[in-house]
Structure 1
């Protein structure tokens, strides 16, 4: 008796098909590195390690609150939200700053719970001072690192570059290929593909 052919299932289980095949995917390492950097900048820009430790501490505290609290519903929902958002982001495998605002409410609520439990009447002054120092350090880092004024070409420069590419091709077939081997390189040249 002939059995069912399940070879296609074996390949799907080991590597599921991409959610959006038209968009090139990044490796998990690049995705996690990008996300850690951006979330680190959100919490404490000058030191990503401090941000990561604070985030891990907040997650651990949330897990502890879920286990020992009498009213677990709120903490469980916050943990569930953070888990669903994180898994959705990881499954999409598309490193983009556009997806990161979804993390903000759960991260800030989680850190808020951590700080509210850590504050007592005796520690309010030190916590306020720490918050002011972190805020000043973030603002200083923004101005020193030219945070919002990165040297990027605007639409006019890109149109000129696209026209130059077409002229150089002299009506021959051509293909745009990224200069470096980065997972996001394909996305960077998409702008030029659109303009050409």
Structure 2
């Protein structure tokens, strides 16, 4: 097998892995939403209930739950695109960013969130958004600046989601997700400096 053929096979395996992970998570979200509709919306109660002990499990579960198909559809595209932009550079970084953004978003929402249940992947999505922008600041490479520019062009309007201007939108989850993504960019940049 030639070098180009083996490189092509390796790229195909990497892309397949990325597609399985991101596609699998989206399939879980859609499957849970179908199940939730069949259960009369009872799964949504597993989300984040601010400052209530029952809401702590929601920190882990809430990103997989959505308030109907409209909510889920609005989160699916940015989750796939922004998640893939991180994963394409490094699968390990995607894992770290997802974990940090999800945890910071969830904890921030649990501590500071308004009353009622908070659900949806948007906290993680805002983490991806924050990471991709902050990575350009910390790395200062042409590639990271180019990705940040593309992200701003495609998703720049998301930034309004961190403001408390729309009823029924968890701006707290968005804000703390963004903070988590920026924190993940700093953490990964710091680790890279220490190991180089």
- Shorter-chain TM-score bucket reads under 0.3
Higher Rg of the two aligned structures? 1
Greater fraction of residues in helix: 2
TM normalised by structure 2 equals 0.28
